[in-house]
Chains A and B, each alone.
Chain A
Amino acid sequence: MRTGRLFAAAPVVTVATFALPIAAGFVGTLAPAFGYLPAIGGHEFSLSPWRELVAWPGFASSVRLTLVTGVAATLISALFAFGFCAWAAGRAWGPRAAAWLAPILATPHSAFAIGLAFVIAPSGWIVRALSPWLTGFDVPPDVATIGDPSGAALVLGMVVKEAPYLVLMTTAALAQVRANEHLAVARSMGYGPTEAWVRVVLPQVWPQVRLPFLAVLAYSLSVVDVALILGPSNPPTLAVLAVRWFGDPDLRLWFPAAAAASLQLVIVAASIGAWIALERMIARAGRRIVEAGRRASTLSTLSSLAAAGVAIIGALAVAAMTGMAIWSVASQWRFPSAWPGAFAFDNWSRRIADIASPAANTIVVAAIATLCALALAVACLEAEERRRRAGPPPALALLYLPLLVPQVAFLFGAQVLLVRAGLDGAVAAVVWAHLIYVLPYLFLSLADPWRALDPRYARTAASLGASEWRVLFAVKLPILVRPVAIACAVAFAVSVGLYLPTLFAGNGLVPTLTTEAVTLSAGADRRIIGAWALMQALVPLAAYLAAVLVPGRRPAR
């Protein structure tokens, strides 16, 4: 009985962990958006921050750019991911492909974007490899392959990062829907492998990957670091604009910055709403198509294209990371040399002493945050099963808010809260700030496989006299070990990559690999960025590899 009550309390505890910072974050964003922030002289509520935002010359372009790049990056990532999974379904090594994508997921966004920029820039690796012998270029061509006003490079950068994440989420979900059996049945009815996957497996997998998809949508609409490196600058996306204004020496710009951040929230919420409406229509149309039962279609060509797209993404990713690795041991590497003119390893030897303490902080914070998040998530999911009514308690939806509210606006309010409580600068505060972001991702990765677990296992075990704890540890967790491991790896990587929350909660006093890497990246020295990016990637990479190599246990039938 006591375990039952413990689980019942879990959603309350979990939401309370979040309700406070979320409420503070909202107030901290909305109040200045309406002119109120006494600390910098805003004593009255007004609409002038909004007027200032709308009157800014690039406002309309910035909003359009935000929407176009965010939506395009999400849709292309999803098409690539699903197309790739459909294509891989008929192939024996398909499921193992996720292991190859782990390094992409492990590398922090900013480091990755810098690496990608080096590959595709007019003075980048591709042009260097072809110059001057083929192109005749002695100096790089003056064309915009990164930072172009259309935002194409930004979309590419996001797809390279997000498509692998969706592939991983889809692969994890596939294990729960008996994809292979369904595929076999559909194929026996004369559907090709791709047609069968799209018609039979995708509709079953979709409910489990919907939330990751929406998280990608929210993230793509509000990303800052990748947009700074690959996106256009005049005007930039709304999130970059907000960050730029928040960082302006003129503190009065905080007011329109907060308005921009609030608008960002509206855009994300509206996009999610629009998608959910669209999804219903797609489902209705899709059912009609499936019922029509046509066997031949262009789907297999499309899935091959998507698979090719994923291959190109993989190649770009490998090039980006290899490029940064080479930079980390280069001393000089100038256009048009395809290879550094001189090497220097002191870049690494000098850094060994510098990394010990940030690396230790990184691992400690990530491990504690991941374990806390896992405990809370499992407890919430267990509580859910004990509820009379089906489905999660609506309050749990609050969990996902941190993924939707742009970090920079949300965190100032939370920081004031921490300072008031006298907790800022402590490792515990950093863990708490990380938990806000780690828990939603972990919950996102774990909830659907957990809910999809056949309840008869637990019932059978219980009828044999096993206690609730025993059912959890001896039956459920072993069956779900793979999704649990993947969810933990995702959570761990999220924690390692967090920059602003670490900075805000730690007051700059708890340096991690990411905070060090980001501050040093301000110096734009690829040799240093390369070394830090590799170190930053190695830690979560180890977690990912451990997770994907965990043997998936399927219960005997």
Chain B
Amino acid sequence: MIRRFLLASVLAIAAPVLAQDAAWNDTLAKARGQTVHFNAWAGDEKTNAFIAWVGEETEKRYGVKVVHVKLKDTAEAVQRVVAEKAAARDAGGTVDMIWINGPNFLSMKEQKLLYGPYADRLPNWRYVDTVKKRSNLVDFTIPNEGYESPWRMAQIVFVYDSKRVRTTPTSIAALGAWAKANPGRFTHPGVRNFLGSTFLKQALFELAPDPSVLQRPATDANFASTTAPMWAWYDALKPNLWRGGAQFPENGPAQRQLMNDGEIDMMISFNPSEAAVSVQSGLLPDSVRTFTLAKGTIGNTSFVAIPYNASAKEGALVVANFLLEPATQARAQDVRQMGNFTVLDLAKLAPEDRKRFDDLPRHPALPTNAELGTTLLEPHPSWMTRITAEWERRYTK
């Protein structure tokens, strides 16, 4: 009786798991032989090499080929799906998977261009950190509802040349003071670039009278009062920026090149290991180091999403799942490979998998988890839209 009860309860617990296994086996079977066209920004050779490696592995293990469709801008892939929708190609699309987050994701989700929800159907979803890394579930305050699966973390850090910068600022206000003492030696990418607008959002977090409003949509009523202190701070900062604040680098890589050319001494980055990875590949001087701000910095997650009309949906699921393998994530975090922090919760991993992360090489320009400090959630996308428009209203003549 008791045994039967036990058996029944074991079955009751195991049944969904078994059903899930069966569904996943079905996915694996359908995926075999598919080719996944992974549309991903291709400006970073390390990332390109990593994606190539992912393709080799998934082909070996699951018979799924990956073709990296190299993008200059994620919007290109969005545009391609829009063109296919405009031409009524609702199946057999040419984009199977997109590296995406934030505004591009919101756009595609709102226009119903995405397949899903699928993320929690991936077997490796159980390792994902959904508690401390909230951005895995909430993409720029928008619950992603499983329409995208995480693959790497990003967090704002500042990179500086330790040969030229003695003490690093620990707050946004102190950053303004540093720029005043060192005019022309700091800049940020243009505000139409996500890194440029993120810099302003970071400032807003520290300077807004009540930062909690940032998690809700900006309104006509609260925008001016919330951002006023930030604009006052920026008005004072702008003349002390590189080129007197009259020009800005187009994007993050262009800004890094300024740093490598010695035109600036300090820059903002969205990848905590950018300094370490760049030193290793000769893109920044050996003397660069990383710092963050005392009250924390904005962090977000990079995801992969599958368009509604993708040809190789099962293949894309297999690749998304492979990206979440502990061994894959450990390789991604290795500064000799790609150097991106993991989306997984290390506590959920088996000891041998955790060891993979413990054994990763150290680098003087790489911050520890403790040094990275608090991660702040991205504000609602409407703040970014309004800040960008307001910046242009104020400073574009």
Contact = CB atoms under 8 A, between A and B. Distances in A.
Interface of A: 37-41, 56-58, 61, 121-123, 139-140, 142, 144, 147-149, 228, 232-235, 244, 246-251, 331-332, 334-336, 342, 344, 412, 415-417, 419-420, 424-425, 503, 507-509, 511, 515-516, 518-528
A121 B261 contact: yes
B111 interface: yes
11 contacts: A139-B263, A149-B247, A246-B79, A250-B107, A334-B260, A425-B94, A519-B43, A519-B72, A522-B42, A525-B45, A525-B257
Interface stretch (B81-89, B122-130, B370-378): B81-89
B261 A249 contact: no
Most A Cβ at <10 Å: residue of B253, B282, B392: B282
Given A58-B396, A508-B80, A248 B43 contact: no
Contact of B190 (A234, A250, A331, A508): A234
Q: Which 6 A-B pairs have the closest CB atoms?
A: A522-B43, A249-B103, A524-B253, A523-B43, A123-B261, A39-B86
A286 to B, nearest CB: 40
B103 A520 contact: no
A414 to B, nearest CB: 10
B291 interface: no
Contacts of B263: 122-123, 139-140, 142, 335
Contacts of A121: 261
B94 A424 contact: yes
A523 B107 contact: no
Nearest to B81: A39
A227 to B, nearest CB: 11
A234 B395 contact: yes
A434 to B, nearest CB: 19
B254 to A, nearest CB: 5
B102 interface: yes
A251 B107 contact: yes
Contact of B78 (A251, A417, A507, A519): A251
Given A57-B392, A526-B257, A503 B76 contact: yes
Interface string B187-221: 00010100000000000000000000000000000
Given A249-B74, A335-B263, A521-B43, 18 more contacts: A142-B243, A235-B396, A235-B397, A249-B75, A249-B106, A331-B282, A334-B261, A342-B282, A416-B86, A507-B69, A508-B37, A508-B39, A508-B76, A508-B80, A522-B43, A522-B72, A525-B253, A528-B45
A549 B183 CA distance: 54
B146 interface: no
B387 to A, nearest CB: 13
B79 A412 contact: yes
A39 B85 contact: yes
A309 B393 CA distance: 40
A334 B285 contact: yes
Contact of A519 (B71, B85, B260, B261): B71
B244 to A, nearest CB: 8
A39 B43 contact: no
B111 A41 contact: yes
A412 B83 contact: yes
Interface in B32-68: 37, 39, 41-45, 67
A508 B70 contact: yes
B242 interface: yes
B262 interface: yes
Nearest to A508: B69
Interface string B205-247: 0000000000000000000000000000000000000111011
Contacts of A148: 247
Most A Cβ at <10 Å: residue of B37, B70, B83, B84: B83
A523 B281 CA distance: 13
A203 to B, nearest CB: 44
A233 B248 contact: yes
Interface in B340-397: 385, 392-393, 395-397
Contacts of A344: 282
Given A147-B247, A508-B80, A523-B253, A234 B396 contact: yes
B52 to A, nearest CB: 10
B104 interface: yes
Contacts of A525: 45, 253, 257, 283
Contact of A509 (B37, B72, B260, B261): B37
Contacts of A37: 86
A332 B42 contact: no
Contacts of B260: 334
A232 B283 contact: no
Contacts of A511: 70
A25 to B, nearest CB: 13
Nearest to A523: B43
Contacts of A249: 74-75, 78, 102-104, 106-107
Contacts of B104: 249
B168 interface: no
Nearest to A60: B397
A153 B320 CA distance: 45
Contact of B41 (A58, A522, A524): A522
A504 B80 CA distance: 8
A527 B253 CA distance: 13
B262 A523 contact: no
Interface string B277-295: 0000011010000000000
B184 A246 contact: no
Nearest to B241: A142
A451 B270 CA distance: 59
A58 B184 contact: no
Nearest to A228: B250
Nearest to B74: A249
A424 B79 CA distance: 14
Nearest to A499: B72
B133 interface: no
Given A41-B111, A61-B397, A508-B76, A416 B83 contact: yes
A418 to B, nearest CB: 8
A305 to B, nearest CB: 31
B72 A518 contact: yes
Contacts of A416: 83, 86-87
Contacts of B392: 56-58
A509 B282 CA distance: 31
Given A139-B262, A144-B247, A526-B257, A508 B396 contact: no
Nearest to B70: A519
B140 to A, nearest CB: 10
A503 B77 CA distance: 11
Given A523-B43, A525-B283, A144 B246 contact: yes
Contacts of A524: 43, 251, 253-254, 256-257
A91 to B, nearest CB: 41
Most B Cβ at <10 Å: residue of A39, A415, A511: A39
B166 to A, nearest CB: 16
B145 interface: no
A379 B344 CA distance: 64
Nearest to B286: A332
A344 B43 CA distance: 20
B21 interface: no
B80 to A, nearest CB: 6
Most B Cβ at <10 Å: residue of A123, A149, A246, A507: A507
A40 B83 contact: no
A526 B107 CA distance: 33
A520 B45 contact: yes
